Structures are given as C-alpha cells and as structure tokens.
C-alpha cells in the first residue's frame, strides 16, 4: 500500500459532468465485461486462456479518455479494458474470445490478440513487453507523416525490466516521438512482488533519457486522466515522450488457473479494494447530485449490453475450414 502516491500533476483540469459520467459508464463496462469472461471461462465456454483486469479499470479509462479516436494504443495480455476504453465493441470482442468469425481477428486471436485498427488499437500482445517497439514505431509514423497522432503503450511492471523498453525509450527521446509509456504497476509480475524482481525504482526508468515521469494513483480515474491529458498535450506539441507510472492492483489472480493466490494475503486484497476506482467515482457523482436511481440505471444498461454481447458472440458462426490461412500471411 505504501507504493501508492498521489498524482503529482499540479495543473487542475476541469472534469465535466458529462465526462465523469462517461468514465463511470466506461469503467463499469470494463468490469462487467471481465466478470462475464470469468464466468464463461469457469463454465468452459471460452477456449484458450484469458487474463482479466478487474481492479485496474481507472488506468485504461482515464488514459483513453484523454485520447482521440485516431490516436494509437498498444495493449497487453491483460488487454480487454484497453480495447473497450478505446472504443472496441463488446459483441465483437466476445465473438473473438469464443473463436467465432465475427470476432475482431475472425476468431483466430482470442483473448490476447484482439486488435481494432478503426479505433487506433494496434493490438493486444501475449509477449511481455512485445508492444514497446510497435507503439514507438506508430509514434514515429505519426511524426513523419505529420498526422498529429499520439501513441500510448500500455504495459505491466514486469515488462519494465525488458531491454526493449530501454531501447524504445532511447529512440523516442532522441527523436522526440509522440509516445506515452503507461506502466500499470499492479504490484505483481505474475506471482512475484514487483520489489522482489525489480532493482531500483520503476519511476527512475525514464530518467537516463530525460523523459518526464508522472507517478499517479491508478485507483483514481481523475488523477489518471489529468496525468494522461498533460502527457498527450506534451506529445502533440512535439515535446517528445512521457512515462506514466500508474499504481494499481488486480483483484484476482494472474490468470484463470491462479485461484489461491498464495503469494499474497486476503487482507492485502481487501485493503486495496477499499480504494476501488468505481466506488470512488460513484461517491463523487452522488456528491455532485447524481441520484442513485440514475446510477442504477447506468449499471442496468451496461449489464444488458454485456449480456447481449455474450449472446452475439455465442451465436456467431465458427470460421469455415477454408479460412484457416486467410489474414495470416500478407498477400
């Protein structure tokens, strides 16, 4: 718990009532989607493997709220929240998880390879740290083509120890690329506490490259949004990359087989749940005059949306056998 730090951004950003409600809805959509994934996997209806992000919703939603639709993101093996927050449709996401033809990758990618170029999502990545160069390359293309786009690379604390991270930051700093490296430090790299496998401090990673770093409370969607807003503005102004270190927590295990979570205590989990980003925003909205009836209506709408999305995915046809090599190799 001592690793959480309050957002160090000093400039106040105005969060409109409409944006606050949108963030609330978006975080609920991510959590509800993930809850359905858990249920479907436990009923052996989803093939392959999946990793859910329950507890980390504020990072995906807060950052993507600061982006335009045509901005780029790259994601991780725990990427459902990033996909949804950037604008992906849950029905096509569930179709992909079921391995059906209406999925974003026509059923060939599954949970860890969903991509949606129409919303700037260049894809989830099952390789730890595998998207550093992709996001940096996207930022390079944006600068060369003068498109005014920004790229965000989501990654976990474990990936911060990959050599490609340093290589990518070096290139981005030298060429002042419009890229934001957003670390979701959920305190554990798979089953290992971050401090047991990471030498030094994560927030120092960008220092050798003179990359500005913001350490942010990743359980506060407003704090994440403010930090991302500042980093995006800096990138669009041609001032180069930023590093956001978001302190957050995954409530569940690393993957579906990690049920007992022997590497941490239930007391620790309960302490983090007291910081829940959705509950925190709900309390804020009530204080701003939003009625419980309106909040309940949003929850009901989101639940209906996800139930319909699951049904769509389940009813989508399986890919035909002759499609096995389509969209695999370049023509």
* Per-residue pLDDT, 321: 87
Residue 224 falls inside a structural domain? yes
Residue 2 falls inside a structural domain? no
- Domain span at residue 193? 17-313
Distance (Å) of CA 227 to CA 125, 178, 191, 216, 328: 24, 15, 29, 7, 38
> How confident is the prediction for the chain on average, in pLDDT?
93
Residue 196 falls inside a structural domain? yes
Q: Above pLDDT 70, what percent of the chain?
A: 96
Residue 167 falls inside a structural domain? yes
Residue 256 falls inside a structural domain? yes
The number of distinct structural domains making up the chain is 1
pLDDT tens figures, 102-153 = 999 999 999 999 999 999 999 999 999 999 999 999 999 999 999 999 999 9
Residue 318 falls inside a structural domain? no
Domain of 34: which CATH number? 3.40.50.970
Residue 106 falls inside a structural domain? yes
pLDDT tens figures, 274-293 = 999 999 999 999 999 999 99
Pick from 8, 51, 80: nearest CA to 230: 8
* Per-residue pLDDT, 13: 52
pLDDT tens figures, 76-104 = 999 999 999 999 999 999 999 999 999 99
């Amino acid at each position: 718990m001592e690793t959480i730090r309050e957002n160090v951004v000093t400039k106040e950003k105005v969060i409109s009532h409409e944006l606050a409600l949108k963030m609330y809805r978006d975080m609920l959509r991510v959590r509800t989607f993930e809850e359905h994934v858990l249920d479907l996997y436990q009923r052996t209806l989803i093939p392959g493997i999946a990793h859910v992000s329950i507890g980390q919703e504020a990072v995906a939603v807060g950052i993507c709220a600061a982006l335009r639709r045509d901005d780029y993101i790259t994601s991780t093996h725990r990427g459902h929240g990033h996909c949804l927050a950037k604008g992906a449709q849950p029905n096509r996401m569930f179709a992909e998880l079921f391995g059906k033809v209406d999925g974003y990758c026509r059923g060939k990618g599954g949970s860890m390879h969903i991509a949606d170029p129409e919303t700037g999502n260049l894809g989830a990545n099952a390789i730890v740290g595998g998207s550093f160069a992709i996001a940096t390359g996207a930022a390079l293309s944006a600068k060369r083509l003068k498109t005014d786009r920004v790229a965000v690379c989501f990654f976990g604390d474990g990936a911060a120890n990959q050599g490609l991270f340093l290589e990518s930051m070096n290139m981005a700093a030298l060429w002042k690329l419009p890229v934001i490296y957003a670390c979701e430090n959920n305190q554990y790299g798979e089953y290992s506490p971050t401090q047991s496998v990471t030498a030094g401090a994560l927030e120092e990673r960008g220092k050798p490259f003179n990359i500005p770093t913001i350490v942010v409370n990743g359980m506060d969607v407003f704090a994440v949004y403010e930090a991302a807003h500042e980093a995006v503005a800096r990138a669009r102004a041609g001032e180069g990359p930023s590093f956001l270190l978001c302190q957050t927590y995954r409530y569940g295990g690393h993957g579906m087989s990690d049920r007992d979570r022997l590497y941490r205590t239930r007391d620790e989990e309960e302490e983090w749940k007291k910081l829940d980003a959705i509950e925190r925003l709900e309390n804020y909205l009530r204080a701003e005059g939003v009625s419980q009836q309106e909040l309940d209506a949003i929850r009901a709408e989101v639940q209906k949306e996800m139930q319909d999305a699951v049904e769509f995915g389940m009813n989508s046809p399986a890919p035909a056998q002759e499609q096995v090599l389509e969209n695999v190799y370049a023509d």
